[in-house]
């Protein structure tokens, strides 16, 4: 490959063997194979080990607050619809601190790609249980084991009629690449929950565990336009299904805001009508 989207001059702040490396390489290859231009791509992240990934890509990047990647990604997409916007982070960042934003991104169907590194633990803050940690998982904080029901992002997204919902395991490189390519080409909100081991702070959900507890959906037999079938598969665990659960394009958030008469001129280039703005201020001051 003649070009990589990974910055060559950065030290990766991950432990040796971390699953984040695999996802970084896979996403880079997807960007390359889709022949995307780096100036057209924006990655947005919050805080966490997975949220460091966009810092290592040779593209536009915004690193914000913990759990706040999705509203920023939404704002960027609304300001310039020509950009390819990706929100990337971990299960704690996206489903814990960012849980409310996750729900509303699904509801809006904003045309962005949402990649979540799911290692079932908080890696950056030294191993606390995350929303997706499995029951009885013991940590330095949850010394008696996790008692909460694990958050199921796939079933939640489907129940809210997300237009693209998928799960992958980064060890299955080519399968994960195909899922990501489909997500980038999809018009609307795309969730890709990617299993990846944390080799230091999660001794339970290892590479071997994910391999033993997952299987690849037979996409020739699974109807990804059938919502009920997708929900049924999403609710099944041990093993977890991998693949595209559901895909059905529908009107996006952007299309609701700009009707057919609009020129679709990006917000950043629109000129403000100061007279109309002043009239609004005058009306509000009277009322």
**pLDDT band per the 50, 70, 90 thresholds, residue 264:** low
> 173-185 and 19-33 are packed helices; what angle lies between their axes, rounded to 10 degrees?
50
CA 189/CA 112 separation, integer angstroms: 5
pLDDT at 285: 66
**pLDDT band per the 50, 70, 90 thresholds, residue 279:** confident
What integer best gives the mean pLDDT of the chain?
92
Lowest mean pLDDT among 124-133, 135-144, 178-187, 260-269: 260-269
Residue 2 has pLDDT above 70, yes or no: no
Read off the pLDDT of each residue in 94-109 and give the average, rounded to a whole number: 95
* Single pTM value for the model: 0.92
The strand order across the sheet containing 190-195 reads 60-63, 41-45, 84-90, 113-118, 190-195, 164-169, 240-247, 214-216
Residue 286 has pLDDT above 80, yes or no: no
pLDDT, tens digit, for every residue of 200-227? 999 999 999 999 999 999 989 999 999 9
CATH 1.10.3720.10 fits 19-286, yes or no: no
**Phi and psi, residue 193, nearest 5°:** -90, 115
pLDDT, tens digit, for every residue of 137-165? 999 899 999 999 999 999 999 999 999 99
Read off the pLDDT of each residue in 42-67 and give the average, rounded to a whole number: 93
Closest CA to 170 of 20, 70, 33, 39: 20
**CB-based contacts of 235, cutoff 8 Å, min separation 6:** 152, 155
């Amino acid at each position: 490959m003649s070009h990589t989207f990974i910055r060559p001059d950065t030290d990766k702040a991950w432990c040796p063997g971390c699953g984040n490396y695999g996802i970084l390489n896979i996403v880079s290859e997807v960007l390359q194979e889709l022949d995307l231009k780096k100036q057209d791509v924006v990655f947005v992240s919050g805080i966490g080990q997975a949220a460091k990934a966009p810092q290592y890509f040779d593209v536009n990047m915004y690193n914000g607050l913990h759990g706040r990647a999705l509203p920023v990604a939404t704002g960027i997409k609304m300001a310039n619809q020509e950009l390819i916007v990706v929100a990337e982070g971990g299960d704690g960042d996206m489903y814990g601190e960012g849980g409310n934003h996750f729900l509303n991104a699904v509801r809006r169907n904003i045309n962005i790609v949402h990649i979540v590194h799911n290692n079932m633990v908080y890696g950056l803050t030294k191993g606390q249980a995350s929303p997706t940690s499995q029951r009885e998982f013991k940590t330095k904080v949850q010394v008696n084991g996790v008692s909460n029901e694990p958050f199921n992002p796939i079933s939640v997204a489907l129940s809210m009629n997300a237009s693209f919902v998928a799960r992958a395991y980064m060890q299955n490189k080519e399968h994960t690449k195909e899922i990501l390519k489909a997500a980038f080409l999809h018009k609307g909100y795309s969730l890709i929950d990617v299993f990846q081991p944390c080799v230091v702070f999660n001794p339970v959900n290892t590479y071997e565990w994910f391999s033993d507890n997952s299987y690849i959906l037979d996409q020739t037999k699974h109807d990804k336009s059938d919502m009920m079938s997708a929900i049924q598969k999403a609710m099944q665990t041990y093993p977890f299904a991998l693949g595209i659960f559901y895909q059905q394009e529908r009107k996006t958030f952007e299309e609701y805001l700009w009707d057919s008469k609009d020129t679709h001129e990006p917000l950043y280039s629109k000129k403000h009508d100061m007279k109309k703005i002043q009239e609004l201020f005058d009306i509000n001051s009277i009322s």
